[in-house]
Amino acid sequence: MIRLISTALLSLLFFVSSGQSRFTTKDSLNAVCDKVMQTLVDGKYSAAIQLFKGKSVMDATVIDNIDKTLNEQMANILPYYGKIMGYELVDERFLKNTVTRRRYILQFEYYFLSFDFVLYNNSKGWSVSHFYYKDETKELF
């Protein structure tokens, strides 16, 4: 099952959406990333993914596809990973004031998933440009 999830690694580039909002500070967008993770901890997978609408360059159909995929995958992995225990920000890397990657761990009883948010500043504001999750450890160390 873990192999299936690894093989089905969801790595998505988001497409430009004209209705996106920009955050004037990175801290305000960081709070959205934290809220997405807390909503996942609360077991509200659809609500977590829908938080991206208007806060990223993600097209609405892409958001809906991620929503569907995440719900299906969570139903399959919960029996093996156990219940969700919490989340933790484990890494944040910067490229000047232009690009930031925030890496979180969603902690289960028996395993984890890694969630990456790539934030982009076009000098007019910040938005989420990439989002992906996986259950591999090689990029964590």
> Domain of 24?
2-134
Question: What confidence tens digit (pLDDT) does each residue in 73-114 have?
Answer: 999 999 999 999 999 999 999 999 899 999 999 999 999 999
Would residue 111 count as lying in a domain? yes
Query: What domain count does the chain have?
Result: 1
| Average pLDDT value for residue range 11-34 | 61
Alpha helices by DSSP H, 18-59: 26-41, 45-50
Provide the pLDDT for residue 1. Answer: 52
For tokens 């596809």, the residue is 65
| Average pLDDT value for residue range 9-34 | 59
Position 22 pLDDT exceeds 90? no
Would residue 120 count as lying in a domain? yes
Stated pTM of the model = 0.80
